[in-house]
Amino acid sequence: MVELEMVNGIKIPQIGMGTWQINDKDILQELIKAGQELGYSLIDTAAAYSNEMAIGKAWTQLGIKREDLFLSDKVWNSNRGFEAVQSACRKSLKKLKTDYLDLYLIHWPASPKLYDDWEILNAETWRGMEQLYQEGLVRSIGVCNFKPHHLEALSKTAQVMPMVNQVEFHPGMPQQELITYCRERGIGVEASSPLGNGTVLANAQLKELAKVKKKTVAQICLRYGVEKGLVVLPKTTSPSRLQENLAVYDWELSVEEMRMIDAIPYCGGIGIDPDEVTEFG
């Protein structure tokens, strides 16, 4: 598995297993088993996915060595703040049956729409993340869905800047400005929903390109993220697709093909603007 290096020197696999909406414990166990055999080590979960316990059971029952996994988890919005994030992390560690996480992320920024004191809330949650990092409960820390203004605000008080920002990225949502912003500051970018939650796979331009390249549309989407230097986190409930989704390294997209994909207009996905969400508080 190709690995990228975060700013703190910790290596992160470039392709990971997304687990949002996958809650069935038998399916998770089957996927983690197949994933290990294929070379996946990064499992991306979140407290809000309600599958931490099933993942904890799966990897321990399968007898996988902890050091062969890269466990990434996210704190939910109800646990913002210095103390709350630390106790949420400890609970997640228990559910995942581990005494450390490889990466711990803030799931959503507190947004100005919902909180007058959004800057303070994010700063305090981040201070708790830094504390967890200092104590060694988490090997790396980061955020999700942070836009440049959330990161700017955080930089006023942060001792350590996020090592990673996980955001929705796929054809039709190329996040060019955000990626440039993060790259200039040493913040790695992770692509969540790299297939637009499946909707992007129906795009006619991508289908045409896939035909020319003799690849699947999913592979075109994943190669697009890989070629941008991102960590990509596709989700699938099928072991054979786990394999298909890894086969994106022995071929490439040309500069023109990358440009063509960059120019595809929005064609589906999750499409939540972190500043517009109110229902996520």
Q: Which residues are at the interface with ligand A2P (CB under 6 A)?
A: 18, 193-198, 201, 216, 218, 234-238, 241, 244-245
> How far apart are CB 150 and ligand A2P at their closest, in Å?
23
CB nearer to ligand A2P: give 157 or 237.
237
Residue 139: partners with Cβ closer than 8 Å, 6 or more residues away:
10, 100, 101, 102, 103, 133
* CB of 262 closer than 8 Å to CB of 177: no
CB nearer to ligand A2P: give 148 or 239.
239
CB nearer to ligand A2P: give 142 or 194.
194
Q: Annotated catalytic, 49?
A: yes
> How far apart are CB 173 and ligand A2P at their closest, in Å?
10
CB nearer to ligand A2P: give 145 or 245.
245
| Pairwise CA distance, residues 264 & 192, whole Å | 18
Active-site pick, 40, 49, 104, 224: 49
Which structure tokens are listed for 188? Answer: 């790695």
Give the distance from CA 167 to its chain's centroid.
7
> How far apart are CB 143 and ligand A2P at their closest, in Å?
19
> How far apart are CB 172 and ligand A2P at their closest, in Å?
11
CB nearer to ligand A2P: give 98 or 245.
245
Closest CA to 224 of 165, 181, 172, 185: 172
The secondary structure of 197-223 as a DSSP string is GGGGGG-HHHHHHHHHHTS-HHHHHHH
> How far apart are CB 268 and ligand A2P at their closest, in Å?
10
Strands 42-44, 17-18: parallel, antiparallel or unpaired by DSSP? parallel
Closest CA to 145 of 186, 197, 109: 109
Angle value at C-alpha 232, between 210 and 14, nearest 5 degrees: 110
Q: What positions carry a catalytic annotation? A: 49
